[in-house]
């Protein structure tokens, strides 16, 4: 087995009577795109929040690049290279795409978000921000206000902001949500390019995207891992077909 970059061991989380994560074991190998699929309420978002540090574990352990992350805060995990995609709600609509990415560069470099003004003119922020926008195909929109960007462009901007933090691994929670087929196809192409450089954990309901991109897939059902395997394993597993994909899906 290749090197494991991210490992979750016996991770659990309960919300009142609901067991959202039920003793989950997950190993993500370096250099792979690992997808997590499962029906609504299976615990996918909860698991990502636990991995990124937004949500405390009730029990279990998380290690990343050989370091114990279990008790580290979100920004400490991000500093180590484990970064969850920014939610569009954390993007400032009154600033341009470039200024928003510059803020992410600035935040990662340890400056305060309050000092955003120099980000407009400071080449040490603008140049890396433009490079990130270029990577996601948004260079031409660098000086557009975020509020005026189309939905697909905003999602690409979120990814540019992750890249600005110089991650080792990206945690992406439903990046295709709400997208039409053209934007989805564009994002699949972008992720196919990014997976050559980054390890990626992808939660996604779009099965075409998952089967096009994933090297490994973990199926969660009721907070438990039903199966981890190759796309072929998952596609043909009768339990998975019954529990989630439905007969004929994914084929």
Ligand X SMILES: Nc1ncnc2c1ncn2[C@@H]1O[C@H](COP(=O)(O)OP(=O)(O)OP(=O)(O)O)[C@@H](O)[C@H]1O
Give the binding site for ligand X (CB under 6 A).
15, 18, 20, 38, 40-46
Alpha helices in the chain (DSSP H): 44-52, 74-80, 97-108, 118-121, 123-135, 151-163, 181-194, 207-213, 231-236, 238-240
Whether the CB-CB separation of 27 and 7 falls below 8 Å is answered with: yes
Smallest distance from ligand X to CB 38, Å? 5
Nearer to ligand X, 87 or 196 (CB): 87
Cβ proximity to ligand X: between 13 and 195 the closer is 13
CA dihedral (86, 89, 90, 94) in degrees, to 10, reads 130
Among residues 122 and 174, whose Cβ is nearest to ligand X?
174
Q: Which is nearer to ligand X, 18 or 150 (CB)?
A: 18
Query: What is the three-class DSSP state of 122?
Result: coil
Rounded to an integer, what distance in angstroms lies between the CA atom of residue 61 and that of residue 184?
34
Question: What are the backbone dihedrals phi and psi of residue 229, each rounded to the nearest 5 degrees, phi first?
Answer: -170, -170
How far apart CA 133 and CA 6 sit, in angstroms, is 27
Q: How far is the CB of 174 from ligand X (least distance, A)?
A: 7
Minimum CB distance to ligand X smaller for 51 or for 133: 51
Cβ at position 154, least distance to ligand X in Å = 19
Smallest separation, CB 143 to ligand X (Å): 34
- We find the least distance from the C-beta atom of residue 12 to ligand X, in angstroms, to be 12
**Cα distances (Å, whole numbers) of residue 140 to 115, 136, 153, 185, 191:** 25, 11, 11, 19, 19
């Amino acid at each position: 087995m290749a090197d494991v970059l991210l490992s979750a061991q016996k991770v659990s989380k309960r919300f009142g009577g609901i067991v959202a994560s039920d003793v989950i074991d997950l190993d993500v190998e370096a250099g792979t795109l690992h997808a997590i699929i499962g029906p609504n309420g299976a615990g996918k978002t909860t698991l990502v929040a636990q991995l990124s540090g937004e949500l405390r574990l009730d029990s279990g352990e998380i290690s990343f690049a050989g370091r114990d992350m279990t008790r580290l805060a979100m920004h400490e995990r991000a500093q180590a290279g484990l970064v969850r995609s920014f939610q569009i709600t954390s993007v400032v609509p009154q600033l341009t795409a470039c200024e928003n990415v510059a803020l992410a560069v600035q935040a990662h470099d340890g400056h305060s978000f309050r000092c955003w003004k120099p980000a407009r003119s400071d080449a040490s922020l603008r140049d890396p921000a433009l490079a990130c926008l270029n990577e996601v195909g948004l260079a031409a929109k660098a000086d557009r206000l975020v509020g005026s960007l189309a939905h697909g462009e905003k999602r690409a901007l979120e990814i540019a902001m992750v890249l600005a933090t110089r991650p080792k691994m990206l945690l992406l929670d439903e990046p295709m949500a709400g997208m039409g087929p053209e934007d989805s196809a564009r994002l699949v192409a972008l992720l196919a390019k990014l997976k050559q450089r980054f390890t990626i954990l992808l939660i996604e309901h779009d099965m075409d995207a998952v089967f096009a991109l994933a090297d490994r897939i973990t199926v969660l059902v009721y907070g438990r891992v039903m199966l981890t395997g190759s796309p072929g394993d998952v596609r043909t597993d009768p339990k998975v077909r019954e529990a989630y994909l439905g007969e004929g899906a994914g084929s």
